[in-house]
Amino acid sequence: MKLTTRGQYSTKLMMELAKKYGEGPILSKDISKAQDISFKYLGQLIIPLKIAGLVRSNRGAHGGIMLSKHPEDIKLIDILKAVEGSLYLAECIKAPNICNRSKNCVAREIWEEASEAFLKVFNSITLQKMIERDKAKKNG
């Protein structure tokens, strides 16, 4: 499995918002600069995150983007599902009916086990934990 740039950059965007949680809306141009994400691409990433209820935005003089929940309440899996869609290694895991061999396929079983391992990790990491790891890395 390889995350697309959508997944990677959305995670960076959300980390930036989490670091500034409680400070009010953050300007897109500031996020773009801090995380080295093109301003135009950043705008595309915000849409699915907004739809998923992970961020909200305000327009106007005091506008910008902010997390809609506390960083402890947003898991990495929430971010990745919002922008990547399915996180399974093969479509037959999520929809076994697409292949008439799914029931007896050993490869599918292994792909399912590997997918579940990925999902377990992504589900166990919150933005708060990522911030803490980032601080420890910078201080250590």
pLDDT in tens, 125-135: 999 999 999 99
Model pTM above 0.75? yes
Q: How many separate domains does the chain show? A: 1
Domain that holds residue 39: 5-139
d(CA 74, CA 17): 12
d(CA 49, CA 68): 10
Q: The domain spanning residue 115 has which CATH number?
A: 1.10.10.10
pLDDT in tens, 32-63: 999 999 999 999 999 999 999 999 988 877 78
Structure tokens at 134: 């980032």
